[in-house]
Chain A
Amino acid sequence: MTDVVRTGFRPSRVAVYGLLLLAALVYLIPLFIMLVTSFKTPMDIRTGNLMALPTDWTTIGWTKAWSEACTGVQCEGISGYFWNSFKMTVPAVLISTLLGAFNGYVLSKWKFKGSDLFFGMLLFGCFVPFQVVLLPMAATLGKLGLANTTSGLVLVHVIYGVAFTTLFFRNYYVAIPDALIKAARLDGAGFFTIFFRILLPMSTPIFMVSLIWQFTQIWNDFLFGVVFASGDSQPITVALNNLVNTSTGVKEYNVDMAAAMIAALPTLVVYIVAGKYFIRGLTAGSVKG
Chain B
Amino acid sequence: MEHIQRHPARVARAPSRFLDALQRWLPKLVVAPTFVLIGVGIYGYMLWTGVLSFTSSSFLPVYDFVGFEQYAKLMANDRWLTASVNLGIFGGLFILSCLVIGVILAIFLDQRIRQEGAIRTIYLYPMALSMIVTGTVWKWILNPSLGLEKLMHDWGWTSFSFDWLVSSDMAIYTIVMAAVWQASGFVMALFLAGLRGVDSSIIRAARVDGASLPLIYWKIILPSLRPVFFSAVMVLAHIAIKSFDLVMAMTAGGPGYSTDLPAVFMYAHTFTRGQMGLGSASAMLMLGAILALIVPYLYSELREKRHD
Contact = CB atoms under 8 A, between A and B. Distances in A.
Contacts of B109: 20
B283 interface: yes
Question: Do most interface residues of chain B lie in helix, strand or loop, or is the interface mixed?
Answer: helix
Given A19-B108, A50-B150, A283-B190, A131 B283 contact: yes
A288 B227 contact: yes
Interface residues of B, number: 111
Nearest to B304: A288
B123 A24 contact: yes
A222 B131 contact: yes
B83 interface: no
Contacts of B248: 222, 226, 241
The binding surface of chain A is classed by DSSP as helix
A263 B133 contact: yes
A240 B133 contact: yes
Contacts of B89: none
Interface string A47-79: 011111000000000000000000000000000
A83 interface: no
B85 interface: no
A49 B151 contact: yes
A16 interface: yes
Contacts, number: 286
A104 B30 CA distance: 10
| Among B38, B248, B280: residue with most chain A CB under 10 A | B38
A227 B26 CA distance: 37
B215 interface: no
Interface in B127-153: 127-134, 136-141, 143, 146-148, 150-151, 153
B60 to A, nearest CB: 10
With a 10 A CB-CB cut-off, give which of A7, A45, A106, A279 has the most chain B CB atoms: A279
Contacts of A26: 181
Nearest to A28: B122
B93 interface: no
B67 interface: no
A122 B38 contact: yes
Contacts of A135: 48-49, 52, 61, 270, 276, 279-280, 283
B154 A49 contact: yes
Interface in A91-143: 99, 102-103, 105-107, 110, 112, 115, 118, 121-125, 127-139
A131 to B, nearest CB: 4
A128 B133 contact: no
Given A135-B283, A136-B48, 13 more contacts: A7-B112, A26-B181, A30-B134, A30-B181, A31-B125, A49-B146, A129-B242, A129-B287, A133-B49, A137-B41, A240-B133, A244-B139, A268-B125
21 contacts: A1-B110, A33-B140, A34-B137, A50-B141, A51-B151, A106-B27, A115-B27, A128-B287, A128-B290, A129-B286, A130-B242, A131-B282, A132-B50, A139-B61, A226-B267, A244-B136, A257-B137, A272-B125, A278-B124, A282-B127, A288-B227
Interface of A: 1-5, 7, 13, 16-17, 19-20, 23-24, 26-28, 30-31, 33-34, 37, 45-46, 48-52, 99, 102-103, 105-107, 110, 112, 115, 118, 121-125, 127-139, 158-160, 162-163, 166, 190-191, 216, 219-223, 226-227, 237, 240-241, 244-245, 253, 256-257, 259-260, 263-264, 267-268, 270-272, 275, 278-279, 282-283, 285-288
